[in-house]
Amino acid sequence: MDFPRRSFLLTGLCGLALAGLTQCKKSGGGDANTIVVGEVAALSGGTATFGQSSHAGTQMAVDEINASGGLLGKKVTLITEDDQSKQGEAGTVAKKLISREKIVALLGEVASGRSLEMAPICQKEGVPMISPASTNPKVTEVGDHIFRVCFIDPFQGTVMAKFALARGWKKVAVMTDVKQDYSVGLSQYFKEYFTKNGGTIVGDQSYSSGDKDFKAQLTKLKEGAPDAILASGYYNETGLIAVQCRELGISAPLLGGDGWDSPSLVEVAGKAIEGSFFSNHFSAEDKAPIIQNFITKYKEKNDGKTPDAMAALGYDSMMILGAAIKKAGTTEGKALRDAIATTKDHAGITGVISLDEKRNANKPAVILTIKDGNFVYVETVAP
Amino acid sequence: MEQFIQQLLNGLFLGAIYALIALGYTMVYGVLRFINFAHGDVFMLGAFAGYYLHKALMPLMGALPAPISAAVILLLAMAICAALGILIEFLAYRPLRSRPRLNVLITAIGVSLFLEYTGQLIFGATQRPFPEVIPKKNIEGLGGLYVSNTQVIVLVTTVALLVALRFIVMKTKMGLAMRALSLNPTAATLMGVNNSVVISFTFGLGSALAAAGGILYASLYPSIEPFMGILPGLKAFVAAVLGGIGNIPGAALGGLIIGITETLVAGYSQDIGIPSGYKDGVAFVILILILLFKPSGLLGKVEREKV
Amino acid sequence: MIFKKYGTQLFLLAALVVSLVVSLFADQIDDYYMDIALNVGINIILAVSLNLVNGHTGQFSLGHAAFMAVGAYGSAVLTLQAGAPMVSALGGGVFGQSLVFIIALLVGGVFAALLGWMVGVPSLRLRGDYLAIVTLGFNEIVRVVFTNTNADGPFGGALGLKGIEPYTNFFWVFAIAAISVYVVGSMVNSTYGRGFLVVRDDEVAGESMGINTVRYKVTAFVIGAFFAGLAGGLYAHLRTTISAEGFGFLKSVDVVVMVILGGMGSTLGVVIAAVVLTVLNEYLRDFEQYRMIIFSLILIIMMIVRPQGLLPNVVLQRKKNKKTVDPA
């Protein structure tokens, strides 16, 4: 009869939990000479590439701030937690950073789904949160402490739809990654604007991240003889979609969003992606000294890797936070929040950033094309 | 009509890939009666071995014709993965040989996670482009149909490996030992079969097949990353079960059926109002149906549980 | 005497009281540790309920996350769509919220149980590895279906559901954990419940003794799924946002690992494993990229060194010892 012992154990556990939990108020927040900033990024798991990039950008911003004397006379420490690209983890680590490390603000996540997990926690605890790259509109709707430094899906979808119409493409087919809310949103807003303004969607197919074979869907899309194909997912799959389009004799250009931005798109797709277009936060081609300077330094620190949009956004998120701390003169939550909210004309890598009343970055998108394996600037579209 | 034939071709070539991976799965299961969950990850390692071999050897083999250098890379990667498979078996599975099958299943899941995350640590999380070992070309003269030379190579290799495997299992002494072991390990030992050697051989062979699958897969879909083995691994497993696990021609048949069904669902589901994203569930629906109505698989033998 | 007769009920009561008391002091507790504690509790429910299927009844299921998903979605849809008017109709406040929450949890649990029945019945013809694979496939199907729902529909498509009310607290989690331990424990330890063990140990012999093994298997699946559904509901109202991706194959593996490490069929062992693994996961956080590598190595080494789990089932062990002595 070992049954009562089990319940016993459970009871004991609860007691232990009580004892263990109440006695902990670690002295976080560093000492008087440091400002602790938290970051949540996917450093491992399925979307690790984005997390690693944005982390590299953020870290670089912290190093630069410290090299030029820190903030308010203190050094900045960045504490990064990995959420393994897993649902549920982001919430836990956000709580950890806030309650254990006493961070003054939280930077992250790239993925909207995980940002939405952290946002209510930051809102409740009064810790400002800046997402570098979550483009889903819902993220900043959580509350007045949640900001982002990127544009949002409706804007990006509209930009691409406008661009397609301006080129005279009336028939566009759509490939959506149903596993990514980012892609679903982008496709949705593209379709809305495009059909309202005289375009026709001649095919609407979906796939899931991680897929490698798209020939069935593309064969179907070919039937509609599209002028262009919107591939709204991330570059991982887009490269293969481009290759398989050409293998099936589809010569229409592809259109996409900022999720395309990675050198690996061209490496995988090669010639197949030439002449396609995507909207992005910045262009590495831009000759502006601030951008070229950023690229040079980033390459130095990261074995010669060219920074992608995630890195630039990670950098901008930290720089905006840094500027706000300077402006507020304190790291206290409410004052810092107000300082971030009044960010205006911040000269970032991804454009001149002003935060609007919905706490979204108001800034132009650039459209890039792929030419001879390089991302070439085409035009800038203002909001 | 032309579109339908194109879809069937798409499905056929996709199925050939599944079949190729399923061969290794089914052989290991046939002999050892356990699901080697890590098969999909050895497949991934095969692709990475090909990637690095290409990088290292191409400067040396630049002068050779493409098919020869491709074959060299393929065989070397197979050898590397075979060694790795034997090592995995020796370290992780051998100590468990007399333990319940579920323990071994858990270990296999552990090995699978280990390979994936170690892979991520060493190779990085970012996808890499797989080099075109043999320049890709579309085959001309098929009217409006599109088939590339790589696809044909994959199909031919799958058939060749299927025949070779069948030969090894049915006509060689080692194959005889493998079959004996699968029938009754104790009796096999008594008949002078060295079980350890046979099991190592089986693992080596299975891993070599996985490596071949990885390289061919990567040539078709030239983007490799540490988690690339999970999905094809699962689907190949479904293919193996569908054909009757342990049955080599069955695995090939299962692979083709899954590939074609998946393609048709993805291509035509929207005509009846279902998002094409449901194609990911198709393999598993087939799996459940087949196991409910014919648990031994299409070509498998019915196994009675002895009291 | 009383202790002996009502021991289990007394301990259940004690566990409920303690969780209530702790939840009254929840404000004093560090958020992060509270979060870990709640995760521990939810994992206990998951592991104990899976243990009924995998451990006690010997039906190897690799699809527990699917039931969790159904419970999470079921309860969250209810509180999102009808929660606010229901709470205000009940006069608002803690009472109304608690009532709505428990209704939502039960709805989620019942849906999960229904699904458990749907899986349990057809799966009866399978065993061992095949059953494992079918449940795995079933898990994938549930995930694919939720992912492919309309983004504007009640299930939210790929983004899933967000803005779920954070109703989950210490009391609910540990009360339900205690109840699940109690229910599974008393079921297995009752005269009736010996049938589960028969199914596991020797199905054929059981059948020839006139035991309806089919009913036991289905019961195990339904009860297991029900509690997994409750755990899903708690999880949804703890995280406040859920998406289908989080209920994939890996989540099922997490739970299976707890059952295996704890020792199949040992409730105590499984509870300990749930606690240890959840806490270990937090400790290994500092190792970032190495975390999963270490975790998988522990798994492999554990299987080699101590395959019966941390705390093997005592009854089973005794029986085995006897067997080895008997021939003498």
Question: What pLDDT score was predicted for residue C324?
Answer: 42
Residue B25 resides in a domain: yes
Dihedrals phi, psi of A130, to nearest 5 degrees: -120, 120
Determine the structural domain holding residue C77 and report its residue range.
Answer: 32-247
- By the CB < 8 Å criterion, does B7 face chain A? yes
Q: Are residues A207 and A112 in the same domain?
A: no
Q: Which of A185, A208, A181 is nearest to C158 (CA)?
A: A181
Residue B134 identity: I
Residue C181 resides in a domain: yes
- Average pLDDT per block of 10 residues along chain C, 328 residues long: 63 79 78 89 94 85 93 94 80 81 94 91 73 86 89 83 88 91 85 77 77 83 95 94 88 87 84 89 77 83 79 54 41
Q: Is B223 helix (H, G, I), strand (E, B) or coil?
A: strand
Per residue in B22-36, pLDDT (tens digit) is: 988 888 888 887 788
Question: What pLDDT score was predicted for residue B112?
Answer: 93
Q: Is C303 helix (H, G, I), strand (E, B) or coil?
A: helix
Q: Which residues contact A89 (CB under 8 A, 6 or more apart)?
A: A83, A114
Q: Which of C244, A44, A177 is nearest to B227 (CA)?
A: A44
Question: What pLDDT score was predicted for residue C3?
Answer: 54
Residue B123 resides in a domain: yes
pLDDT band at A66 (very low <50, low <70, confident <90, very high): very high
In contact, A52 and A94? CB cutoff 8 Å = no
pLDDT band at A31 (very low <50, low <70, confident <90, very high): low
Question: What pLDDT score was predicted for residue C322?
Answer: 46
Distance CA B281, CA B298 (A): 20
- Total domain count for chain B? 1
Task: Compute the average pLDDT of residues B162-177.
Answer: 91
The least confident of A3-17, A87-101, A123-137, B27-41 is A3-17
Q: Is B224 helix (H, G, I), strand (E, B) or coil?
A: strand
Highest mean pLDDT among A242-246, B240-244, C281-285: A242-246
Question: What pLDDT score was predicted for residue C202?
Answer: 76
Determine the structural domain holding residue B173 and report its residue range.
Answer: 20-228
Determine the structural domain holding residue A84 and report its residue range.
Answer: 7-151+289-363
- Which of A256, A280, A304 terminates a domain? The answer is A280
Q: How far is B232 from chain A (nearest CA, A)?
A: 9
Q: How far apart are the first and last CA of chain A?
A: 72
Q: How far is B241 from chain C (nearest CA, A)?
A: 9
Contact call for B129 and A267, based on CB within 8 A: yes
Task: Compute the average pLDDT of residues A124-148.
Answer: 92
Which residues from chain B sit within 8 angstroms of residue C147, using beta carbons? Answer: 277
Q: Which residue has the tokens 């070309």?
A: B137
Q: Are residues A159 and A274 in the same domain?
A: yes
Distance CA C135, CA A361 (A): 45
Contacts 24+ apart (CB under 8 A), A330-337: A330/A72, A331/A35, A331/A72, A331/A104, A331/A105, A333/A104, A333/A125, A333/A126, A333/A127, A333/A128, A333/A145, A334/A126, A336/A104, A336/A105, A336/A128, A337/A126, A337/A128, A337/A144, A337/A145
Q: Which of C57, C24, C25, C19 is nearest to C38 (CA)?
A: C19
Residue B192 resides in a domain: yes
Q: Are residues A17 and A133 in the same domain?
A: yes
Q: Give me the CATH number covering residue A263.
A: 3.40.50.2300
**3-state secondary structure labels for all residues of chain A:** CCHHHHHHHHHHHHHHHHHHHHCCCCCCCCCCCEEEEEEEECCCCCCHHHHHHHHHHHHHHHHHHHHCCCECCEEEEEEEEECCCCCCHHHHHHHHHHHCCCCCEEECCCCHHHHHHHHHHHHHHCCCEEECCCCCCHHHHCCCCEEECCCCHHHHHHHHHHHHHHCCCCEEEEEEECCCHHHHHHHHHHHHHHHHCCCEEEEEEEECCCCCCCHHHHHHHHCCCCCEEEECCCHHHHHHHHHHHHHCCCCCCEEECHHHCCHHHHHHHHHHHCCCEEEECCCCCCCCHHHHHHHHHHHHHCCCCCCCHHHHHHHHHHHHHHHHHHHHCCCCHHHHHHHHHCCCCEEECCEEEEECCCCCEECCEEEEEEECCEEEEEEEECC
Q: Is B38 helix (H, G, I), strand (E, B) or coil?
A: coil
pLDDT band at B270 (very low <50, low <70, confident <90, very high): confident
Residue C70 resides in a domain: yes
Residue B268 resides in a domain: no
Residue B300 resides in a domain: no
Distance CA C98, CA C251 (A): 28
In contact, C38 and C173? CB cutoff 8 Å = yes
Q: How far is A383 from chain B (nearest CA, A)?
A: 32
Residue B5 resides in a domain: no
Q: Which of A5, A6, A52, A177 would you mutate first to test chain C, the one with the most C CBs within 10 A?
A: A6
Distance CA A316, CA A308 (A): 13
Residue A375 resides in a domain: no
Contact call for C291 and A96, based on CB within 8 A: no
In contact, A218 and A248? CB cutoff 8 Å = yes
> Is the backbone of residue C210 left (phi > 0), alpha (psi -120 to 50) or beta?
left
| Whether the predicted pLDDT of A148 surpasses 50 | yes
DSSP-derived letter for residue C287 is G
Residue B53 resides in a domain: yes
Which residues from chain C sit within 8 angstroms of residue B237, using beta carbons? Answer: 133
Question: What pLDDT score was predicted for residue C323?
Answer: 44
Q: Are residues A63 and A199 in the same domain?
A: no
> Is the backbone of residue A345 left (phi > 0), alpha (psi -120 to 50) or beta?
left
- Total domain count for chain C? 1
Distance CA B65, CA B95 (A): 45
Contact call for B266 and A216, based on CB within 8 A: yes
Residue A372 resides in a domain: no
- Total domain count for chain A? 2
Angle at A175 between CA A171 and CA A176, to 5 degrees: 130
Closest by Cβ to C268, choosing from A9, A22, A87: A9
Residue B198 resides in a domain: yes
Q: Are residues A258 and A164 in the same domain?
A: yes
Contact partners for chain C, using 3 or more CB pairs closer than 8 A, are A, B
Report the sign of the C-alpha dihedral through residues C60, C66, C68, C70, in that order.
negative
| Whether the predicted pLDDT of A2 surpasses 50 | no
Question: What pLDDT score was predicted for residue B307?
Answer: 43
Helix (H) or strand (E) holding C193, with range, is none
Q: Which residues, numbered 51 to 110 in chain A, qualify as contacts with chain C under a Cβ-Cβ cut-off of 8 Å?
A: 81-82, 84, 86-88, 91-93, 95-96, 98-100
Residue C276 resides in a domain: no
| CB burial string B17-49: b at 16+ within 10 A, e below | bbbbbbbbbbbbbbbbbbbbbbbbbbbbbbbbb
In contact, B54 and B71? CB cutoff 8 Å = no
Q: Which of C281, C311, C305 is nearest to C294 (CA)?
A: C281
Q: Are residues A313 and A329 in the same domain?
A: yes
In contact, A227 and A196? CB cutoff 8 Å = no
Question: What pLDDT score was predicted for residue A167?
Answer: 92
Q: Which residues contact C129 (CB under 8 A, 6 or more apart)?
A: B34, B35, B101, B105, C60
> Is the backbone of residue A85 left (phi > 0), alpha (psi -120 to 50) or beta?
left
- By the CB < 8 Å criterion, does A153 face chain C? no
Is omega for the bond preceding A109 within 30 degrees of 0, making it cis? Answer: yes
DSSP C117-181: HHHHHHHTT--HHHHHHHHHHHHHHHHHHHHTS-TTSTT-GGG-B--------HHHHHHHHHHHH
Which residues from chain A sit within 8 angstroms of residue B222, using beta carbons? Answer: 240, 243, 268
Distance CA A342, CA B216 (A): 55
- By the CB < 8 Å criterion, does A259 face chain C? no
Structure tokens at B263: 């393609």
How buried is C150 (Cβ within 10 angstroms: 0-12 exposed, 13-18 middle, 19+ buried)?
exposed
Q: Which residues pair with A40 in a beta bridge?
A: A81
